[in-house]
């Protein structure tokens, strides 16, 4: 009898374990409502899921990303999108076309045949005209009528179609850069570089308001306020624009060096109002033998009248100059025309 009781004890323990397991299983399988609210007095059993209701709030707004969004009308949504776009526009700063404190405009010029061989020049010019440096060796303009970039020896103030170059400058061909640099008030400034079609650097020159950085500049007097002569040097060789001035600041000579030789047209001035007197023609390239005796191609009178031109076969240098005030016969007095009486407005009664 005692042995039978000892054999039934494991069965009783197993039965109690099974009873406890069946008691806990229904409670574990029942659905419970989870709440993230911090208020302890809130009942646990709720009819809706607190993860998707606006009950979880901070200052009246849903605190979870899964909270249901408040319903907005189409007009309210449109207004909210416009307000967001306005804030983005205000945050972005507008790019200002300003270089060295001067406002400028962008332009471009196309030269050559269409296709891969066409060159595109991208540049900027001053938005408003400025007074230029009278001692600059050369001035660069953009002709808005001819759509060309011009290099002039004298300042052109009356031509409205000429715009002063100012800002970055770039020449491209077949999407490759051939030349880069900067202009400042119509003169070359900072670093200028040229490249071949493969992008290999050919030349690099530094300028300071038109003058090569290595140029020799001489002055009148000890105060160094007036320039006498500008001799351009690049890497120890004559290269660039040459200029010589009178003591009154007017140009006396202007020309250009290439590879240590005079090239192009060299101009001699009268010494007032930047008026030209003689124009001499040198070789076209500095890599050809230098011309020993330049050829006179044009000559001007003091009144800026062309009196000799080789290309036009014009030569009036030996002709007598007409007197602007011809002599009159003795006793001649010019007739005076009486002025009309001024109109008087009638008096109001």
- Chain segment 209-249, per-residue pLDDT in tens: 998 888 999 999 888 889 999 999 988 899 999 999 999 99
Residues 179-183 have a mean pLDDT of 97
CA 90 to chain centre: 23
Quickly tell me which residue has 């208020």 as its tokens. 39
User: Which helix (H) or strand (E) covers residue 82, if one does?
Assistant: helix 74-91
Check residue 48 and give its pLDDT: 46
Burial 35-50 (b: 16+ CB within 10 A, else e): beeeeeeeeeeeeeeb
Q: How confident is the model at residue 96 (pLDDT cuts 50, 70, 90)?
A: confident
Residues 279-285 have a mean pLDDT of 94
CA 249 to chain centre: 32
Check residue 337 and give its pLDDT: 60
What are the CA-CA distances from residue 235 to residues 187, 212, 240 (Å)?
Answer: 20, 10, 12
Q: Are 241 and 232 in contact (CB under 8 A)?
A: yes
* DSSP label of 28: H
Burial 160-188 (b: 16+ CB within 10 A, else e): eebbbbbbebebbbeeeebbbbbbbbbbb
pTM reported for the whole predicted model:
0.61
Quickly tell me which residue has 């901070």 as its tokens. 58
Comparing 102 with 19, which gets the higher pLDDT?
Answer: 102
Residues 149-154 have a mean pLDDT of 88
Q: Is 14's pLDDT higher than 80?
A: no
Check residue 79 and give its pLDDT: 84
pLDDT tens digits along 43-85: 444 444 444 444 455 555 555 444 445 566 888 788 888 888 8
Check residue 310 and give its pLDDT: 94
Comparing 344 with 117, which gets the higher pLDDT?
Answer: 117
Check residue 196 and give its pLDDT: 94
**pLDDT, averaged across the chain:** 81
Residues 24-49 have a mean pLDDT of 52
Q: Are 271 and 255 in contact (CB under 8 A)?
A: no
Nearest to 186 by CA among 160, 154, 159, 215: 154
Residues 305-320 have a mean pLDDT of 92
Residue 35: CB partners within 8 Å, gap ≥ 6? 42, 44, 46, 50
Q: 172-186, 217-231, 280-294: which has the highest mean pLDDT?
A: 172-186
Q: Are 258 and 205 in contact (CB under 8 A)?
A: no
Instruction: Give CA–CA dist 261/286, Å, rounded.
Output: 5
Nearest to 169 by CA among 145, 147, 142: 142
Quickly tell me which residue has 């040229």 as its tokens. 194
Instruction: Give CA–CA dist 52/69, Å, rounded.
Output: 9
Q: Is 193 exposed, middle or buried (0-12, 13-18, 19+ CB in 10 A)?
A: middle
Instruction: Give CA–CA dist 1/8, Å, rounded.
Output: 11
Both tokens assigned to 289: 């033998």
User: Is the four-CA dihedral 237, 238, 239, 244 of positive or negative sign?
Assistant: positive
Check residue 58 and give its pLDDT: 52
Nearest to 123 by CA among 106, 139, 148, 136: 106
Cα dihedral 47, 50, 55, 57 in deg (nearest 10) = 180
Q: Is 202's pLDDT higher than 50?
A: yes
């Amino acid at each position: 009898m005692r042995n039978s009781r000892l054999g039934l004890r494991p069965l009783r323990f197993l039965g109690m374990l099974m009873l406890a397991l069946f008691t806990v299983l229904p409670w574990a399988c029942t659905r419970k409502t989870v709440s993230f609210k911090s208020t302890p007095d809130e009942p646990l059993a709720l009819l809706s899921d607190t993860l998707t209701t606006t009950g979880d709030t901070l200052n009246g707004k849903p605190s979870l990303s899964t909270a249901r969004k408040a319903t907005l009308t189409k007009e309210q949504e449109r207004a909210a999108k416009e307000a967001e776009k306005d804030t983005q526009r205000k945050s972005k700063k507008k790019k200002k076309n300003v270089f060295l404190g001067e406002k400028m405009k962008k332009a471009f010029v196309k030269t050559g045949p269409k296709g891969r061989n066409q060159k595109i020049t991208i540049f900027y010019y001053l938005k408003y005209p400025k007074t230029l440096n009278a001692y600059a060796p050369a001035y660069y303009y953009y002709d808005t009528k001819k759509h060309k970039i011009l290099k002039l020896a004298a300042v052109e103030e009356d031509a409205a179609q000429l715009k002063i170059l100012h800002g970055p400058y770039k020449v491209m061909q077949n999407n490759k850069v051939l030349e880069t640099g900067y202009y400042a008030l119509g003169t070359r400034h900072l670093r200028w570089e040229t490249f071949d079609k493969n992008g290999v650097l050919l030349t690099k020159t530094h300028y300071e308001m038109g003058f090569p950085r290595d140029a020799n500049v001489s002055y009148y007097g000890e105060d160094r306020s007036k320039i006498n002569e500008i001799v351009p040097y690049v890497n120890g060789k004559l290269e660039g624009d040459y200029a010589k001035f009178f003591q009154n600041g007017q140009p006396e000579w202007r020309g250009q060096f290439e590879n240590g030789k005079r090239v192009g047209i060299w101009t001699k001035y009268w010494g007032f109002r930047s008026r030209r007197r003689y124009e001499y023609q040198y070789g076209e390239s500095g890599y050809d033998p230098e011309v020993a005796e330049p050829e006179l191609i044009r000559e001007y009178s003091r009144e800026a009248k062309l009196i000799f031109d080789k290309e036009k076969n014009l030569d009036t240098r030996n002709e007598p100059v007409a007197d602007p005030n011809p002599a009159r016969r003795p006793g001649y007095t010019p007739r005076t025309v009486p002025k009309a009486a001024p109109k008087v407005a009638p008096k109001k009664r």
